Amino acid sequence: MKPQVHQVLATLGYGDAIGHEVLGIRRVLREAGYASEIFVETADSRLEHLTRDYRDLASFSRPDNILIHHFSIGSRASRIAYALPDRMVLVYHNITPPEYFVDVHPLLVRQCYRGRRELSAYAERCDLALGDSEFNRKELEAMNFPRTAVLPVVPGFSHLDVAPDRRVAAEFDDAWTNVIFVGRVIPNKRIDDVIRLFHAYQWLFNPRSRLLLVGSYSGFDRYHAMLQELVARLGTNGVRFLGHVSNAELAACYDVADVFLCASEHEGFCVPLVEAFFEGIPVVAYAATAVPATMDGAGVLYSAKDPAHVGALIDQVVSNAALRDQIVAGQDAALDRLLAKNFPRTLLGFIDRVVASPRQTKRAVTDDFWDQVASFEQFEELTQFRPALYCALPKAPSRIV
């Protein structure tokens, strides 16, 4: 009899890389005959019907079941998964180093720091730890996970197979050169460097150019304000913060783009790079962390953020048609190699490997673990729905030094 193979994660998002992977994993497992559910703390309203509440996971738990645990920072679902007797396959999508969020998002500084410490506790808990890139696998290995491998990201592009939004196309489809970056507006993506590099290109080579920054800045309003101040200080024209966009708007942005510019310093994979490959947009990217491996010898990599040098690279890519065609052909070949990877066979091979391997010794948890979980849930509910309770707390006594 086959074991059940369930997935557990903090949040199932709509249209993001992890969400696509989670749904793809469930599809492969069910087609192979495994009973498979997705347990989450929260989910996008458009995906809620595909999920179960993470608190129901305990009733599905069996020692012979396998949990595919998508690790994330500060997750209650992660801690419950740790305590259950099921075998575990941990999937690591990377945790951004906390120093990127200093002076921008103090809470995230603490969460990322604690998340990296918490992750190390799973080295002895999981039967297999998978990175979704070789860069992430090496991080797991450096944290002393004894059994690691790569479950490659093989992105789908169905979300781009829609009619482009006509309004966006009409606004930006003109004689101007459109430089684009797609990704969340967060500090490790170094949107500030994207702006500086674009400014050099616009100032030195092409005043009839604009920069399209496509991605949500929710929760990072302070960083967004800093970027707007930078644009004003430099006097850069045509910088557009488009925020979170629909699939139709994203397709239109890619349609009008002439070059994709990336300056990110920390990526576990970076799906927008291969989206640009798919859309036939030449990519100019900073060679850091997982970016060179994701590009797989294609596109244009730069190793120093010299604005004049990168501006000249962009100008060559935009103005030299033969060079552009050569770059796009290389990206097409890299994309073909990525899509040729057999994701279902790889995933099912890992499941078979775990089933056939000896069980790991399960680390004990305290006897009152589930009582602590219940108490914490009650505390969270009060914090969220009755915050006025805490306004009545007495002030801490002043300390006399």
* pLDDT tens figures, 257-292: 999 999 999 999 999 999 999 999 999 999 999 999
Answer yes or no: is pLDDT of 397 > 80: no
Round to whole Å and give the CA distance between 28 and 17. Answer: 17
Residue 35 tokens read as 């009973």
Answer yes or no: is pLDDT of 399 > 80: no
Q: pLDDT-based confidence at 75, cuts 50/70/90? A: confident
Residue 384 tokens read as 């969220």
The pLDDT tens digits for 105-127 are 988 898 888 888 889 889 989 99
Q: pLDDT-based confidence at 362, cuts 50/70/90? A: low
The pLDDT tens digits for 289-320 are 999 999 999 999 999 999 999 999 999 999 99
Q: Domains in the chain, please, with CATH? A: 5-154+342-390 (3.40.50.2000), 158-339 (3.40.50.2000)
Residue among 43, 11, 7, 12 nearest 25 (CA): 7
Round to whole Å and give the CA distance between 68 and 189. Answer: 28
Residue 392 tokens read as 């009545």
Mean pLDDT taken over the chain: 91
pLDDT at position 401, please?
A: 47
Residue among 150, 89, 139 nearest 116 (CA): 139
Q: Are 202 and 276 in contact (CB under 8 A)?
A: no
The larger pLDDT score, comparing residue 322 to residue 121, is at 322
pLDDT at position 368, please?
A: 59
Q: pLDDT-based confidence at 35, cuts 50/70/90? A: very high
Answer yes or no: is pLDDT of 393 > 90: no
Answer yes or no: is pLDDT of 371 > 90: no
pLDDT at position 23, please?
A: 93
Answer yes or no: is pLDDT of 384 > 70: no
DSSP strands (E only) in 72-137: 87-92, 128-131
Name the 3-class secondary structure at 40. strand
Question: Looking at residues 348-354, what average pLDDT do you find?
Answer: 97
DSSP strands (E only) in 49-157: 52-53, 66-71, 87-92, 128-131, 148-150
The pLDDT tens digits for 129-156 are 999 999 999 999 999 999 999 999 888 8
The pLDDT tens digits for 169-215 are 999 999 999 999 999 999 999 999 999 999 999 999 999 999 999 99
